[in-house]
Structure 1
Amino acid sequence: MTKEDLFVPRQTNTALYIQLYEAGYPLADIARVQKAYRVCCAMFNGRYRKTGRPFICHAVGAASSVAHFDKSVDLVLAAMFHAAYDGSQYPDGKSSRRTDAHRQWLEQKIGPRVEGLVARVVGLKFDTGDPERIVDKGVPTGDEDILFLALAHEVDDLADGGLAFAPKYGQSIRSRVAACATLARNLGRENLAATIEGYGARYETMAWAAPLQETKLVGFQMTPNLRTYIKLRRHKLRGESIEVL
């Protein structure tokens, strides 16, 4: 797959709607994504990834990747909300962990099936060394849909060069890319595998980005109001990995 052939995940909501329409998604499904996007904006208001990219762009990018490789609107929404139980904001102002109250609130916003997918995404370990581990041990039966979400998410992580500017998996991602491509092929998704490999190859030429690499370990959040600022300051004083601006 050449550089020109690589799928580029959309980064804005309107571009995502156009992508869905051109892919043949029913207008009712696009309206559902639009409604969910507004919820997602509120949940990740002010949050940025370690590279400085607004988190909502990443949420849209993950959804866009899923939409490119699959036709399920539920999977598209699950990708958009993949971090709903990790660093998001709920109306009660408490942590983002999956409490009964948070589960019920999110179910009302995106539906019980999508919420269930989001909860299962949180349960899949896909950090440093995990794709390689899964290749060796095999995909647990019944988790093929969750693994697909993780792999499509990987495309958005790779596509904007973010893993060169903020190498959260170490300086080299060669083994990770190879493992993710293998897992995609094990799922019967050759196009996804080729896309992962195509973006992985770009990193072989990005040594120039080393001086621009971020040294902090986590993303950061621009607090939208005093209440949120106080909450995040408390987390930081407890020694938790969070940067408050």
Structure 2
Amino acid sequence: MTGEDLFVPRQTNTALYMQLHDAGHTVEDILRVQRAYRLACGMFNGRYRKSGRAFICHAVGAASSVAHFDKDLDLVIAAMFHAAYDSGQYPDGRSSRRSEAHRKWLEQNVGPAVESLVARVDAMKFDTGDPERLVEKGMPAGDEDILFLRLAHEIDDMADGGMAFAPKYGRSMESRIKACAILARHMGREGLAATIETYGRLYETQTWAAALQEAKLGGFRIAPNLRTYIKLRWLNFRGGSVEVL
């Protein structure tokens, strides 16, 4: 795979709709994704990743990555909401954990199949050393769909240089890329494996980005008004990990 034909995840809703149309999805399919996107805008409003990228762009990028490698619309939408139980803001203003109220709300808005996928994605550990562990010990049977979502998510994390500007895995990045490619091949997804490897090689050329790395923030939110600011500050005081600006 060369740079000329390397897949680059879309970062806007309209670009995602165009990608889906070009892949043969119906207008009804795209309308469903549009409704999901509007919901995601509210859920991730004002939230930014450590790199400074708006979180909604990452949500679209993850969905775009899944859509490139699979036509299952439930998987595409689940990718868009992969952080719903980690970084999402619900109408009740409480933490994004998977409470019964949050489960029912998300299920009502995106459907039970998508909500189940989102919950399973949240439950699968895929932090530092986890892909390597899965290669060594094997993947539990029946979780191939969730592993695919996790691996496709890695594409968006790397494609815009995010792993260089805001590294999460430190020196383990090389072994992580290798393990992710192995896992993709175990599932018969050669295209996904090759894309991961290509972005891994590009990552090795991005050492210059170290000068732009943020040492402090792990992610942040911008509150649109004083009332929201006070609420978010209170949530942060009670144990939240996202800085409020």
| TM-score normalised by length of structure 1 | 0.97
Does 1:226 find its partner at 2:202?
Answer: no
Letter in 2 for 1:60: V
Partner of 1:35: 35
CA apart distance, 1:23? 0.1
CA separation of 1:240/1:35 partners in 2, compared to 1, >3 Å: closer, same or farther?
Answer: closer
Residue-by-residue CA offset, 1:32-63 (whole Å, 9 max, x unaligned): 00011000000000000000000000000000
2:153 aligned partner: 153
Name the CA shift for 1:106/1:238 in 2 (closer, same or farther; >3 Å).
closer
Aligned to 1:110: 110
RMSD: 1.1
Residue identity in the other structure for 1:173:
M
Residues 1:238 and 1:100: Cα distance change in structure 2 (over 3 Å): closer
Q: Give 2:78's aligned residue.
A: 78
Moved beyond 4 Å, runs of 4+: none
The count of aligned residue pairs is 245
TM-score relative to the length of structure 2: 0.97
Report the more deviating stretch, 230-239 or 113-122. Answer: 230-239
Q: Aligned partners of 1:132, 1:200: CA distance in 2, in Å?
A: 15
Q: Which residue of 1 aligns with 2:17?
A: 17
- Structure 1 residues 84-127: Cα deviation after superposition (integer angstroms, max 9, x where no partner): 01121111111111111111111111001000000000000000
Give, in whole Å, the separation in 2 of the partners of 1:181 and 1:165: 22
Identify the residue that residue 186 of structure 2 maps to in structure 1.
186
User: Structure 2: where are the runs of 5+ without partners?
Assistant: none
State the partner residue of 1:143. 143
Amino acid at match of 2:221: Q
Matched, 1:62 2:62: yes
Deviation at 1:172, TM superposition (A): 5.0
Letter aligned with residue 126 of structure 1? F
Structure 1, unmatched stretches of 5+, are: none
- Equivalent residue letter for 2:16: L
1:130-161 deviation line (CA, Å, top 9, x unaligned): 00001111111100000000000000001001
